[in-house]
Amino acid sequence: MRFQFKTSYNQDIRLFKDKVDASWYGLLAVAVLIVPALMSDYYVGEATWVFIYAIGGISLMALVGYTGLVSLGHAAFLGIGAYGHAYFLQHGVPWVVSVTLAVAITTASGIVVGLPALRMTGIYLTIATLAFGVIIQEVFSRWESVTHGFAGMPVEKPTIFGVPFHDEWSFYYLCLFFLVLVLWMTRNLLRSPTGRAWIAIRDSEIAAQSMGVNLAIYKSIAFAYSAGLMGLAGALFAHKIAYLAPDIFTILLSIQFLLLVIVGGLGSLHGAVFGAIFVALLPPLIAILRDSIPASMNDAAAAMNIKLLAIIGEGIGNFLKKPGVEAGIFGLILVLVILLEPLGMYGRWVKIRVFFSTFPMYRGATFKRQKSYMRSERLR
């Protein structure tokens, strides 16, 4: 186990803990940079999805994981960003300006939603954002002069300063660039007074207020920042999906983003990225399993001469082919994560790391939480 002797505050808020830490991230960066050279276009495309979801995840993480405001309306922000960007592009606005405008619009809408949110807490806020999501989805389908309603809206491939980003791998690098930018920005924000104010609000509003944190301002900033990032994710999303329709941006997508944040691990940027990997790669994984499980079970059955195995394999394959199973699997995983590992994948990762770094001395109760009784939220 490496011990760090911190001698100054600046050391405490450094981007990387120490040189070893930094070199691991450097290694990761190299790996991510050379990956497209090794993989087929399909997998590069899937990796791009991971990056886009990760930007969205960081957006929601800032709001849910750090400020403690739960939103069920983030699909609406994603949609505003996507439609705004597509609309400006259609009208011949240059790419960079268009993205900036889309992000600005989403930020503004975030502030608008955030304003009533200042008076609400907990579940009321969740339901208010839910209502916002439903309204915006209806707007997408009705405001046909801009969104083209259910007829859909094609999005052209991005061209920045005359440089085309048309194929999978160049778009991969574009998304990677934005992901790194967003990670860096968010990390900086979180180690600044703003980030500490957010965390204080999450942990106890009353305590934060007593310490002089202006709840209204910091909650508004959180909403605006989160919405703005979601707008950026939306702009990239629009390019990736290439064809916008109102029924993409439903409450189910909002739930998927929340799932991402929770499965990844609340209150950590790592968690947002882990969650994005999970959410973006699970559907293709299910699709692959759908075909490979019956086949491999069949082979096993033939090899071992057990008929039952083949029948079970067939059954699993058929089950995975039914419509709606994917949502159910997401639901099951969500339930399991909340019950067994409330800190998500990142929490599990930290536990494993601590286990090995303290190897023979690991105490089972290191991460045990205190038992708590629930008090009425109405009086909170």
Partner 1 sequence: MLIYKATELVNFAQGDLLMLGAFIAYMAVVWWGLDYWLAFLISVVTIGVFGALLDATILRNVIGQPQFAVVMLTIGLGAMFRTFASVTWGSEIYTLPTPFGGVWQVGGVTLSHQYISIVVGTLVLCGALYAFFNHTRIGVAMQATSQNQLAAYYMGIPVKLIFSLIWAISAGTAAAAGILLAPVTLIDINMGLAVALKAFAAAVLGGFGSIPGALVGGIVIGLIELYAGATLPDGFKDTAPYIVLLIMLAVRPQGLFGTLARKKV
Give the number of residues in contact with partner 1, rule: CB under 8 A.
55
H or E stretch at 351: helix 344-357
Task: Pick one of 189, 334, 350, 354: the residue that binds partner 1 (CB under 8 A).
Answer: 334
Sole window of 96-104, 136-144, 236-244, 360-368 interacting with partner 1 (rule: CB under 8 A): 136-144
Closest-CA residue to 165 (of 179, 180, 176, 154): 176
| Residue nearer to partner 1 on the CB measure, 7 or 370 | 370
Sole window of 91-99, 120-128, 177-185, 353-361 interacting with partner 1 (rule: CB under 8 A): 120-128
70 binds partner 1 (CB under 8 A): yes
141 binds partner 1 (CB under 8 A): yes
Cβ proximity of 35 and 51 under 8 Å:
no
Task: Pick one of 335, 353, 357, 362: the residue that binds partner 1 (CB under 8 A).
Answer: 335
315 binds partner 1 (CB under 8 A): no
H or E stretch at 243: strand 243-244
380 binds partner 1 (CB under 8 A): yes
Sole window of 35-43, 80-88, 115-123, 284-292 interacting with partner 1 (rule: CB under 8 A): 115-123
Cβ proximity of 121 and 380 under 8 Å:
yes
Q: Where are the alpha helices (DSSP H) in 242-268?
A: 251-264
322 binds partner 1 (CB under 8 A): yes
Q: What does each C-alpha distance from 136 to 28, 53, 139, 292 come to in angstroms? A: 38, 20, 5, 40
Q: Tokens 């690098």 label which residue?
A: 173
| Residue nearer to partner 1 on the CB measure, 23 or 209 | 209
| Residue nearer to partner 1 on the CB measure, 212 or 323 | 323
189 binds partner 1 (CB under 8 A): no
Shortest distance in whole angstroms from residue 8 CB to partner 1: 34
Task: Pick one of 174, 248, 259, 343: the residue that binds partner 1 (CB under 8 A).
Answer: 259
**Per-residue H/E/C for 114-153:** HHHHCCCCHHHHHHHHHHHHHHHHHHHHHCHHHHCHHHCE
| Residue nearer to partner 1 on the CB measure, 39 or 130 | 130
Spell 336-356 as b/e; 16+ CB within 10 A means b.
ebeeebebbbbbebeeeeeee
Task: Pick one of 16, 42, 150, 319: the residue that binds partner 1 (CB under 8 A).
Answer: 319
Cβ proximity of 207 and 83 under 8 Å:
no
287 binds partner 1 (CB under 8 A): no
Measured distance CA(239)–CA(244) in Å, rounded = 9
H or E stretch at 163: strand 163-164
Measured distance CA(101)–CA(85) in Å, rounded = 8
Bridge-based pairing of strands 159-160 and 163-164 is antiparallel
157 binds partner 1 (CB under 8 A): no
Cβ proximity of 238 and 155 under 8 Å:
yes
10 binds partner 1 (CB under 8 A): no
300 binds partner 1 (CB under 8 A): no
376 binds partner 1 (CB under 8 A): yes
Residues forming the site for partner 1 (CB under 8 A):
64, 70, 115-116, 119-120, 122-124, 126-128, 130-132, 134-135, 138-139, 141-142, 206, 210, 251, 255, 258-259, 262, 319, 322-325, 327-335, 338-339, 342, 371-380
